[in-house]
Amino acid sequence: MKSNIPLLVTALATIMIATTILTQATYAKITEVITDERCENPAGNEAPRQQDNCQGEAQEEIVETENQNPAGHAPPGQNDDE
């Protein structure tokens, strides 16, 4: 009678490797996160008491973003200013 232990070990190793490979994709996901949202006038000053949307003809909405991984950190070279 042959033992099924080698088959069981192979199956468990395959499951562990597959699980590791599939979960690595979620850890490496880089997303764009808004770090600052504001309204500025033509002089570059922030408008006082502005709400979520910029009102008025001369208002410009400024949205700054940063690439981050799920831990909230930016990988090296992701956010270099050009």
**pTM as predicted:** 0.45
Would 25 be classed as within a structural domain? yes
- Give the per-residue pLDDT at 76: 76
- Ranges under pLDDT 70 in the chain: 1-2, 24-28, 47-52, 57, 78-82
CB 62 within 8 A of CB 39: yes
State the residue range of the domain holding 38: 5-68
Q: Is residue 82 part of a domain?
A: no
What's the rounded Cα separation, in Å, for the pair 65 and 2? 61
Q: Within a domain: residue 35?
A: yes
Q: Note whether residue 62 is domain-resident.
A: yes
11 part of a folded domain: yes
| Structure token digits, residue 15 | 């499951």
Q: Domain count of the chain?
A: 1
Q: Are the beta carbons of 67 and 31 closer than 8 angstroms?
A: yes
